[in-house]
Amino acid sequence: MDDLYREQIIDHYKNPRMRGTLEPHDYSYSDDNPVCGDHLRIDLRVDETGRITEAAFDGEGCAISQASADLLVESVVGKTLEEVKQLSKDDVLELLGIELGPVRLKCALLSLKVLKAGVYGLEELEEELV
């Protein structure tokens, strides 16, 4: 692992810029990593044009999952919801800057899963189905 990126991950894990919750929020979703049970929540506020003005994450997990959430949430402020829908696994890996094995990949991609589920409105869908 590249030392520079390793330092960046530890820094975002120990000193997250985006940790917190937004109340009220326009979009919120939380989910677990099925492998370990670690939990992540992401909240978004958007303006009338669908552009994200504020974002925050909360939860607990390993350094990779928390650093990934912090970097990803930071990167989506200023993006539109449509742009967020286009984000891929490669975008998250680019933010992290490291190669990951399959288990660590699930840690890294938990934030993308939660973010996209929130943007696609799965929470509302689930409420409707209850």
Nearest-approach distance from CB 113 to ligand FES, in angstroms: 11
Q: Which is nearer to ligand FES, 81 or 109 (CB)?
A: 109
Shortest Å, Cβ 108 to ligand FES: 8
| Interacting residues of 23 by C-beta distance below 8 A, sequence separation 6+ | 43
Q: In what order do the strands lie in the sheet with 27-32?
A: 27-32, 39-46, 52-60
Give the shortest CB-28-to-ligand FES separation in angstroms.
Answer: 19
Residue nearest to ligand FES (CB): 107
Could you give phi then psi for residue 102, rounded to 5 degrees?
Answer: -60, -35
**Choice between 76 and 107, CB closer to ligand FES:** 107
Residues at the contact surface with ligand FES, assessed by CB under 6 A: 33, 36, 38, 61-62, 64-65, 107, 110
Inter-helix orientation angle 102-119/122-129, to 10°: 70
